[in-house]
Chain A
Amino acid sequence: MSDLKTHILIVDDEPQIRKFLRTTLTSHDYQVSEAEKAADALKALTVHPPDVMLLDLGLPDGDGLDIIKELRGWSQLPVIVLSARGQEQDKVTALELGADDYLTKPFGAGELLARINVALRHSRAGNQPQQSCFEAAGLKVDFASRQVTIDNQEVHLTPTEYKLLCTMVKYAGKVVTHGQLLREVWGKHSTEQGHYLRIYMQHLRQKLGDDALNPRFLITETGVGYRLKS
């Protein structure tokens, strides 16, 4: 990487939150710019495009969701949504509109940095040829041979389970909504049959030997979707 610092745009109307984010991020060597309103955010996005945007959904002059909608018309830059607990529907909507991830307020610095890292990794990987295999926490998926191993033990998956796992791997570290999974694994018209997904996910967990009580690979993001640890 060059000596150019990674640039993060913070869009939030609360000065205290911006201050916390700015201090934390600059101390971790990020370059930070801030916007208070939706209009400022859109201007900042065009004038000096950031590498990642942290976006609060409740802005005084407009809905954060509209910014995502507009942005996705011309840019794939990673967007991490900031919102409160209980606003799961907003989170899901934001993710379906193209946001990359979310953070539930209040959140800690560790979580913030981890999410930013995942988002950056995905956006950089997007510009490179696809990896031939994925490896994390003892789980290995070899895309060429369609082989899945856990701690070097082969796991046999049905085609649907394999497709489900590959989709989770594609977004490793990021949250994937139920709707996204249903569309990518079962096709466009399956979004009404959410219970399929739960059952296949349960099967997949069992085959991967993953304990839902203390998951090693697949985390349930209640009300939103699933996340594969990376």
Chain B
Amino acid sequence: MIKIQKENFNVEEEIHLIKKNLLSVGAVSTFIGYVRNKNNNKKVSSINIELYQDMVQKCLDEIVNKANQKWNLLDALVIHRYGRLNVGEKIVLVATFSQHRYNSIKACENIMDYLKKDAPFWKKENYEDGYSWLENTSSMSIQNQ
């Protein structure tokens, strides 16, 4: 299941909604991404996440389908937020459900790797004195002071 939303989410509840119907689940692996207060030696006050909604949906569908097949998952959940998020808030949740831990751990890692590489989201990091658009792996050079 893929959810693209502005609202916060409760990890336990989201996992329970899926797991309650899957009694063969023996392992759930999760990754949760948060807004941190420092990046590139700058104090971060908040971030804005922009997205290309239709392409995000398509891209995540493909990523999750591939992971499902490759790692024989019982289910997978991706929640990614957009809009303005403050320090400490959750950005993303990936949860993978399988019979055994190996597959759920590998699939979770795999989905996050591809999400960070291909899913069309962009983070604008806000500071007291300006902002930067980020790119995964390093900070963008385009800044507004």
The yes or no verdict on A and B being binding partners is: no
Residues of A within 8 A of B (CB): none
